[in-house]
Amino acid sequence: MFTFRPYQLKVFQDHSTGILILHWSRQIGKTTVLAAWAVERILRCRAHTVTVLSNSLKNGAEFIARASAFCEEKLSGEEEIKFHFSRHEIRLERGRDLSRIHALAANPRTARGFSGDLILDEIAFYEDPEGVWEAAEPILAARADFLCRIASTGNGKRNLFYRMTRDSRFVLSRVTRTDAWRMGVPIFDPLTRRPITPDEARAAALDKEAYDQNYECAFIGENRSLLNTTLIEAACSDTGYICSGEWSPEALKLFEEISSGGKWLFAGVDVGRSRDRTVVTVITAENGIYRVLGFLRLEEMRLPEQQKRLNPLFRIPGMKGIAIDITGLGLGLYEYILQIYGSRKVYGINFSSTMPAVLERRSLSRAASGEGALPHARVTEVLATNLVRFYEESRLSHPLDEILREDLLLPRRTLNAAGRVSITADRDNSGQAGHADHFWSLALALEAARRQPGRMERRLVSGASRAGIMQSQSVRRTIHLERDLGGGIFF
């Protein structure tokens, strides 16, 4: 006979709470108690269904296996009860009534197909948790006796589970490994197999943040993002404008004033259409500080209409370069611009290609002198690293609102199975931040400034002259390349 610990017993006996959120440590009996609760539900309620949505069919089969063990305990003395087991389902026959527990892969389509109690297991690791929840809510609203149990360990802050744990409308059960250990759950050292304390387990963990998330109910948040709130807020300025749909008259007036004052302007365009927004960022440089004069957000807008929003920028005399993302949909917008304005000011940036990973003056001079080719990296890695460096060196200034703040926090470093670090940016399904559109637009604007026509050419000539090789073939090739960067598609 299985004996529940206090935190498990409380969940097992709860048949009144409509929605209960279980934010529990790993390996403290979360699946076990939910499996027992599911069996209890079909025993209590005739002709009842419990649907379990798991992040994989394999985990769903494991849930059914746990539940089957509890069914065996209920057979003795209950002649009218007949259980039938399969890999992903348990059926209970009691007279003419049929009840069942079935486990399905978590997706919106399967969630819509059934009614009854719902168990959403490891929801933080679903591919589309918002879609599943959208499909599940009407089921729960259909009858007062339908209950829902949502259980998971943490998986960062940018998902539905994190928001649910922060929502006071939901009843929350939070049990850490330390809590469970105090109630008798043992912990063993993975090497020596001797019993250890939670503090000793954490001290032995190679990744303390991952340990805290898996076992102590913490959420890994922005500390793994490329940027953090401190850096972003330090760059906050009262000047500059954030516009939606159209450039405001005030923003256009500011662009003209900066241009008439003799300063150069640059812009970056991260292109979207339906799922992602287009963001245009206009910057200028003042005493080594890159100041954002304006952000423009365009949502659900056809490319010809987006082009119209870019037209005013080309009429500003001081606008010296506009870098456009041409990875996918942006290629069409880029070609529209080329057809009208030519390639003198427009740079096409292909995010799926590579570029020199080191952009410092010394490295460019070394390349010009033939001392060695520059190392290359993915365009996204180079642009992101450059943008972060500007924040860290306090060389950026921009207006700020909540959407922009959340968007800038989306890109993060990830480590794949091969050990390679890459830059990724999850889509924020809450509908606020988007897909790091502001981040990449700002990075593109800085890249446009770096590719200021003639600026790189002067650098390379200067470096080569000091090396005494100004007429070398390698210098001529490099200068020619930098001239070509003034327009057209490159990378």
Q: Average pLDDT for residues 217-229, to the nearest whole number?
A: 75
Q: Is the pLDDT of residue 366 over 70?
A: no
Element (H, E) at 425: strand 421-425
Question: What residue numbers bound the domain in which 407 lies?
Answer: 229-489
Looking up residue 96, the CATH number of its domain turns out to be 3.40.50.300
Q: Average pLDDT for residues 200-223, to the nearest whole number?
A: 82
Q: Is 484 or 391 the better-scoring residue by pLDDT?
A: 391
Binning pLDDT at 50, 70 and 90, where does residue 358 land?
low
pLDDT score for 300:
87
Q: Which of 133, 157, 175 is the last residue of a domain?
A: 175
| 459 within some domain | yes
Q: Is 251 or 207 the better-scoring residue by pLDDT?
A: 251
Q: Average pLDDT for residues 405-418, to the nearest whole number?
A: 72
| 212 within some domain | no
Are 368 and 268 contained in the same domain?
Answer: yes
Element (H, E) at 84: strand 81-86
Identify the DSSP state of 133.
H
For 419-472, how does the pLDDT look when each residue is reduced to its tens digit (9 = 90+)? Answer: 455 677 665 544 554 679 999 999 999 999 998 754 433 333 333 333 332 333
Are 280 and 349 contained in the same domain?
Answer: yes
Are 234 and 168 contained in the same domain?
Answer: no
| 240 within some domain | yes
pLDDT score for 338:
85
Are 26 and 112 contained in the same domain?
Answer: yes
CA distance linking residue 18 with residue 146, whole number of Å: 7
Q: Which residues contact 437 (CB under 8 A, 6 or more apart)?
A: 270, 272, 276, 277, 278, 279, 297, 407
| 303 within some domain | yes
Are 322 and 248 contained in the same domain?
Answer: yes
Binning pLDDT at 50, 70 and 90, where does residue 483 land?
very low
Are 261 and 351 contained in the same domain?
Answer: yes
Q: How many CB atoms lie within 10 A of CB 230?
A: 9
Average pLDDT, the chain: 83
pLDDT score for 75:
62
Tokens of 160: 């539905």
Sign of CA dihedral 431, 436, 437, 439: positive
Are 357 and 466 contained in the same domain?
Answer: yes
Q: Tell me the whole-structure pTM to 2 decimals.
A: 0.52
pLDDT score for 367:
38
Binning pLDDT at 50, 70 and 90, where does residue 376 land?
confident
For 27-85, how does the pLDDT look when each residue is reduced to its tens digit (9 = 90+)? Answer: 999 999 999 999 999 999 999 999 999 988 899 999 999 999 999 777 655 557 899 99
Q: Which of 142, 175, 208 is the last residue of a domain?
A: 175
| 444 within some domain | yes
Are 238 and 111 contained in the same domain?
Answer: no
Binning pLDDT at 50, 70 and 90, where does residue 224 land?
low
Are 149 and 284 contained in the same domain?
Answer: no
Domain tally for the chain? 2
Tell me if residue 119 falls in helix, strand or coil: strand
Q: Which of 175, 207, 238 is the last residue of a domain?
A: 175
Q: Do 85 and 109 meet the contact criterion of CB atoms below 8 Å apart?
A: no
Are 348 and 459 contained in the same domain?
Answer: yes
pLDDT score for 1:
61
Q: Is the pLDDT of residue 475 over 50?
A: no
* Matching residue, tokens 């090739």: 477
For 14-25, how does the pLDDT look when each residue is reduced to its tens digit (9 = 90+)? Answer: 999 999 999 999
pLDDT score for 422:
67
pLDDT score for 434:
64
Are 264 and 392 contained in the same domain?
Answer: yes
Q: Is the pLDDT of residue 346 over 60?
A: yes
Looking up residue 415, the CATH number of its domain turns out to be 3.30.420.240
pLDDT score for 65:
95
For 272-317, how does the pLDDT look when each residue is reduced to its tens digit (9 = 90+)? Answer: 876 678 999 999 998 889 999 999 999 989 988 999 999 999 999 9
| 348 within some domain | yes
Q: Tell me the CA end-to-end span of the chain in Å, nearest whole number.
A: 66
For 126-170, how does the pLDDT look when each residue is reduced to its tens digit (9 = 90+)? Answer: 989 999 999 988 888 888 999 999 999 998 887 899 999 999 999
Q: Which residues contact 425 (CB under 8 A, 6 or more apart)?
A: 410, 411, 412, 435, 436, 439, 440
| 194 within some domain | no
| 182 within some domain | no
